[in-house]
Structure 1
Amino acid sequence: MKTKFFSLLVACLIVTSVFSQANLNDYKYVIVPTKYDFLKESNQYQLNALTQFLFNKYGFETLMEGDEYPEDLVRNRCLALRSNVTKDAGLFKTKLLITLKGCNDQVVFTSQLGESREKEYNKAYTEAIRNAFKSFEAVNYKYEPKAKDVMVATENTEVKNEVAKEIKKLKEEIQALKEEKKAEVIEVEETVVEVVKKAPVVKVQTKEVKNTKEKVDMKASTSVLYAQEIENGFQLVDSSPKVIYKIKKTSMKDVFLVISKNGTLSKKGSDWILEYYENDVLKQEVLNIKF
């Protein structure tokens, strides 16, 4: 009779162990609280940190309450078990019990009672919690995702890949636009340089003075002109203010194209010299410009 009872008890324990293991394998994470109710402070005696360490030791992926949770756990809180340690009354012993609950507050696993006869709380709690964790030695926990969880994870991965592809494509298009704009700027600069190079200002001046013996008409302007910055250059205004000239930058320092005169403005020493042709006579005018 006793033999039959003992065999039945062993069978029940085996079935319970297998059932508990099957339930535990459905969960990917264990969340450990930062404080237990029977203690006054968070992580007192380092008991919460020890709990996290021991869960990790037995193969669980453990998170401390308040940590940044993984993306799949944020989407599905039922992937995690919430752990707790409670203290049983004992006159000469410290007794601790570990429980794991699912997302609907159902108890999924309860450990054996961990005991200690140590008198110092630090040693007693440490020994008792380690003894309680011996219940997990026979569990052989290994997370086994459900089919729907795998499907959701796959779909999310595919979505992420698509988003990554779109972002990469946008970056490439932006880079192409930048290169195109850069090429346009270079082309404009080269055109301006070419125009300046081809402008026969100096060459014509030498030719006209030398061959035709014409004098260069030079005069100095007494009025002060003020330079106001515009796109690609400046406009020169008097005190009215009235726009007298518009000048465009070139690739050469202190050399500008004068739009309305078809001439150039360049700095020679401390003077700004305006040069242009009028009736085949080279005109030069010294301008007093304030930049």
Structure 2
Amino acid sequence: MKTKLFTTLLACFIFTSAFSQSNLNDYKYVIVPKKFDFLKQENQYLLNSLTKFLFEKYGFSTLVEGGSYPDDFKQNRCLGLKSNVLKGSGMFKTKLTVELKDCNDQVVYTSQLGESRIKEYSKSYNEALRNAFKSFENVNYSYQPSNKNAITVAKTDTKTKNEVVQEIQKLKEEIQSLKNKKEEVIDVVETKTEVKAPVKISENKTEQKTVIEGVSNILYAQETPNGFQLVDSSPKVVYRINRTNLKDVFVVEGIDAIIYKKDNTWFLDHNYGATLTQEELNIKF
């Protein structure tokens, strides 16, 4: 009976170790925080530095939270695991475990419980952490690129693009709504005068060429307190644009229009009365 129980436990241990190794091998980096929650100061008792050292001892590439990150990690945060050290309760023992979470905040690995009976904090934390890290002796970690993280990034990028498109559409609707309210307040003469403004521009051949052939005519962005002014090679100010809360989306001063970037191309969406037009621009920042 005892032999069967021992065999079962050994099989479970081997399976768990193999599963953990497979999971951990999918990740290229381990991010070490500057401070653990159960401590009052950054790197108190040198525990964070020791954590970084021990991960590297067992073959992991470590990054310090908030530090300088490599380009591949900047583009794909799912290449890294967030590490944490958790303190267990106990009056006469210091108890620590090491925990690793993925980019979706799911626990990927939890170490064994590391304990120490030393009364002095700096020494007891050191001993307990080293004992917890003994779990990694059987992991035999070696990074092996996986398609799993690449798929996560693709989904994230798609989600981000959809959110940007929705925000741009929402901004267009708000501009149209503001325009409609303005037309309800002003009289007929003022309304006609405002509608004629873009017509005059279209009659001027020089101005018409600047707008319609915006792709071939470069507009140079000069920074202003609220955004930029776009000038041609004359130099002449063609548009003044103000920043919004959205990245690469600007409101054009003086006309009912926005300028935004989509797929590395700048566009001008302009309301001429009830007609919405879209034009491509060549802007150099």
* CA 106–148 in structure 1, closer or farther in 2 if over 3 Å, else same: closer
* CA 108–49 in structure 1, closer or farther in 2 if over 3 Å, else same: same
State yes or no: 1:106 paired with 2:106.
yes
Post-superposition Cα deviations, 1:25-48, rounded to whole Å, max 9, x if no partner, equal 000000011111110001001100
RMSD after superposition = 1.6
Does the residue aligned with 1:97 lie in a helix, a strand or coil? strand
State yes or no: 1:84 paired with 2:84.
yes
Q: Distance in 2 between matches of 1:146 and 1:43?
A: 33
Q: Distance in 2 between matches of 1:105 and 1:68?
A: 22
Q: Distance in 2 between matches of 1:120 and 1:8?
A: 40
Question: Which residue of structure 1 aligns with residue 56 of structure 2?
Answer: 56
Post-superposition Cα deviations, 1:147-185, rounded to whole Å, max 9, x if no partner, equal 5879xxxxxxxxxxxxxxxxxxxxxxxxxxxxxxxxxxx
Question: Which residue of structure 2 aligns with residue 21 of structure 1?
Answer: 21
Note if contact 2:79-2:149 (Cα within 8 Å) is conserved in structure 1: no
> Number of aligned pairs?
151
Does the residue aligned with 1:81 lie in a helix, a strand or coil? strand
Q: TM-score if structure 2 supplies the norm length?
A: 0.51
Q: Distance in 1 between matches of 2:115 and 2:3?
A: 30
State yes or no: 1:130 paired with 2:130.
yes
Question: Which residue of structure 1 aligns with residue 66 of structure 2?
Answer: 66
Q: Distance in 2 between matches of 1:24 and 1:126?
A: 24
Q: Distance in 1 between matches of 2:22 and 2:149?
A: 16
Does the residue aligned with 2:31 lie in a helix, a strand or coil? strand
Q: Which runs of 5+ in 2 are unaligned?
A: 151-285
Q: Which amino acid aligns with 1:77?
A: R
Question: Which residue of structure 1 aligns with residue 144 of structure 2?
Answer: 144
Does the residue aligned with 1:18 lie in a helix, a strand or coil? helix
Q: Distance in 2 between matches of 1:105 and 1:12?
A: 26
Q: Distance in 2 between matches of 1:61 and 1:41?
A: 24
Q: Distance in 2 between matches of 1:92 and 1:22?
A: 36
Q: Distance in 2 between matches of 1:6 and 1:57?
A: 31
Question: Which residue of structure 2 aligns with residue 36 of structure 1?
Answer: 36
Q: TM-score if structure 1 supplies the norm length?
A: 0.50
Does the residue aligned with 2:47 lie in a helix, a strand or coil? helix
Q: Distance in 2 between matches of 1:147 and 1:106?
A: 18
Q: Distance in 1 between matches of 2:115 and 2:26?
A: 29
Q: Distance in 2 between matches of 1:50 and 1:149?
A: 28
Q: Distance in 1 between matches of 2:64 and 2:7?
A: 41
For 1:1-291, what aligned pairs fall within 5 Å after superposition? 1-146=1-146
Does the residue aligned with 2:42 lie in a helix, a strand or coil? coil
Distance apart, 1:91 and its partner CA: 1.2
* CA 148–127 in structure 1, closer or farther in 2 if over 3 Å, else same: closer
Question: Highest CA radius of gyration, 1 or 2?
Answer: 1
* CA 117–75 in structure 1, closer or farther in 2 if over 3 Å, else same: same
